[in-house]
Amino acid sequence: MDLVPALEEPLKQPLKSVLGPATAKVMAEHLGLHSVGDLLHHYPRRYEERGQLTHLADLPMDEHVTVVAMVADARLHSFASAKAPRGKGQRLEVTITDGSGRLQLVFFGNGVHKPHKELLPGTRAMFAGRVSVFNRRLQLAHPAYELLRGDSDETVETWAGALIPIYPATAKLESWKIGKALQTVLPTAQEAIDPLPEGLREGRGLVSLPEALLKIHRPHTKADIEDARARLKWDEAFVLQVALARRRHADAQLPAVARKPKPDGLLTAFDDRLPFTLTEGQQKVSKEIFDDLATEHPMHRLLQGEVGSGKTMVALRAMLATVDAGGQAAMLAPTEVLAQQHHRSVVEMMGELAEGGMLGGAEHSTKVVLLTGSMGAAARRQALLDLVTGEAGIVIGTHALIEDKVQFHDLGLVVVDEQHRFGVEQRDALRGKGKQPPHLLVMTATPIPRTVAMTVFGDLETSVLDQLPAGRSPIASHVVPAADKPHFLSRAWERVREEVESGHQAYVVCPRIGDEEDDPKKSGKKKSPEDEAEKRPPLAVLDVADQLAKGPLQGLSVEVLHGRMHPDDKDAVMRRFAAGDTDVLVATTVIEVGVNVPNATAMVIMDADRFGVSQLHQLRGRVGRGSAPGLCLLVTEMPEASAARQRLTAVASTLDGFELSRIDLEQRREGDVLGQAQSGARTSLRVLAVIEDEEVIAEAREEAAAVVAADPELTGLPGLRTALGALLDEEREQYLDKG
């Protein structure tokens, strides 16, 4: 990277002996900050005004938070414990308030002396710690704190006048220490090179980069913050869109074999067999895909649609069109259960058309083979042979498809199911198996708002299936507050019994398997009161199945399914459930994608607050797949005011996955989604909020396309080239190169 030396300077060497080596080490290991430039781009999450109170009522569970509040009261208690049997244990409980709510702080043992002297009623301070629940109340155990004394010049200077920046922090490094480190390096912001072309910056009235960095870290007014954020959002949106525009430009130069389906081939024979007509959406999306397949550069298309909107049907028709045109199609699934399920449903949908080379096969037919890691040697050898000779037109498999031994006769189309579960390298390895780059269709059932798709998959054209096929039933969803109203949980099990008695089946989903060995580091210790204050571990499949079979669901056939079972056992359990031999399946999220049992009408999700919004929506899509209505019960012990409960209420209130994905993003911030979609690389979005900043992203995309069209190598824009190198670190750069 040709960054300015001052900004490239590593934090690890004691910089003018101000950032000590210990602080630099924590910044590198816990916040990913290695250079002065990295630290300057670590922006405040929000700002507190002295004299104004924050919202204790909205604290997120189990997250590290910083709050500014006033001490309401402080009490020292004595108690007896293993370490202090004579009642000499000490616990300091401090209640803080901010006008919106109250929060308890708790200190133990020798840690009580300093806060007992300093945290007197009426004292204002910043507190930082991890939010936990104890006796059904939110608390911070052993928080770090910094007193706010308005009279100290040093304090006022350090925290920039009236506005106190609150930085994303960790348990090892509080926000105010990050603030002090930033004040040290802030003068070097003057040397930052501006990535935006001058015409663009002036045309949009944006401040320069050095000015933006000064204003975001040391604002004097709210207008300073607005100016800085407006400018820094443009940097992020524009640099990311330039990277994607370069990628689209490079793809357009690649050659590919055009795959035009021949009339009266496999595709026509398949369509003639269908017992229903395709939805309007399926027809429209199929046409977009066929138009792409007919061009001589590789298709890159993202197909997203609600659970059950018929994505598999659209993908299968694209695969048949490829086979008609003399090529082979490969479908990559994230798990063996899903690969087997896809293989079964494709063979069922195709009937005799899937019996190529066999007696009784149709005139237009091909072989559909399955390839997974746990197959027997003979079956595997035959599958590999069918691929290399071209006998098999369609192969469905897990990452076993990517191994070196797998050779294709002529790979024309790669379909990737549940895109976010595959690393970039895996997709790239499969694409490398074509004589020329194959066409690529990426499918996801996690609905992604348009702007996220533009930001994350900006190099892919996007198709959306938003109609559900006729015959799908509505799903009623309800939150079951197990702690507040235990009788609601009893009623939930009664509802499961009722569904089974009327001939249906049910899922019970848990966050954990339950056969994990205890961590030896943890098990050796006696639990301290602080540990007791931590949340209980998530409910486990094996425990819950056992309790249900002996208790509320006694007499019903209950089976378990989880990821650590042997693939044959998993398949056998799934087959028994699909055949209706099992009443209730207690499972982990292995059933989240692709499992299709139309007779399953009820789902109870235990500890539902431990799952993300889109994951809950995915899980819920497993019921109501037949003609009977579906029921989804979200069981939680979280208090009503908590953010987790609000999230569950949002899931229960709408079946629109796109609406839920917006809620999810607004609550979780984009980092999770971008990180997940981008092979786990650290997200580079710090101030850009893809939901709020739709206009900025759309405008940046247009500007980026124009810049790249005029100068693909960016030879005239050294500042932009530098920013590409810094913003898209090596991992992300690879991601964008490979797609």
Q: What is the pLDDT of residues 266-325, one digit of tens each?
A: 999 999 988 888 888 899 999 999 999 999 988 988 898 876 678 889 999 999 999 999
pLDDT, residue 681, reads 34
Q: What is the pLDDT of residues 470-525, one digit of tens each?
A: 666 778 999 999 988 889 999 999 999 999 999 999 999 998 888 765 443 444 44
Residues 54 and 194 sit within 8 Å (Cβ to Cβ): no
Q: Position of tokens 């100016």?
A: 227
pLDDT, residue 345, reads 86
What is the C-alpha to C-alpha distance for residues 648 and 664, in angstroms, rounded to an integer? 11
Q: What is the pLDDT of residues 196-205, one digit of tens each?
A: 888 899 999 9
Residues 203 and 196 sit within 8 Å (Cβ to Cβ): no
Residue 597: how many other CB atoms lie within 10 Å: 21
pLDDT, residue 401, reads 84
Q: At what angle do helices 730-738 and 222-253 cross, to 10 degrees?
A: 40
Residues 6+ apart with CB under 8 A from 404: none
Residues 6+ apart with CB under 8 A from 458: 240, 241, 244, 245, 248, 701
pLDDT, residue 644, reads 85
pLDDT, residue 678, reads 40
Q: Following DSSP, what letter does each residue of 203-269 receive, concatenated?
A: HTTPPPHHHHHHHHHS-SSHHHHHHHHHHHHHHHHHHHHHHHHHHHHHHHHS------PPTTSHHHH
Residues of the chain with pLDDT under 50: 1-4, 14-18, 152-161, 359, 518-534, 671-683, 730-731, 733-739
pLDDT, residue 533, reads 33
Residues 174 and 128 sit within 8 Å (Cβ to Cβ): yes
pLDDT, residue 156, reads 36
pLDDT, residue 683, reads 45
What is the C-alpha to C-alpha distance for residues 34 and 27, in angstroms, rounded to an integer? 7
Q: What is the pLDDT of residues 328-353, one digit of tens each?
A: 999 998 888 788 888 988 998 898 88
pLDDT, residue 466, reads 75
Residues 297 and 253 sit within 8 Å (Cβ to Cβ): yes
Single-letter amino acid, residue 10: P
Residues 491 and 330 sit within 8 Å (Cβ to Cβ): no
Q: Following DSSP, what letter does each residue of 359-417 receive, concatenated?
A: TT--SS--EEEEE-TTS-HHHHHHHHHHHHHT-EEEEEESGGGGSTT---S-EEEEEEE
Q: What pTM does this model have?
A: 0.64
pLDDT, residue 335, reads 82
Q: What is the pLDDT of residues 7-42, one digit of tens each?
A: 677 776 644 444 778 888 888 888 888 888 888 888
Residues 513 and 562 sit within 8 Å (Cβ to Cβ): yes
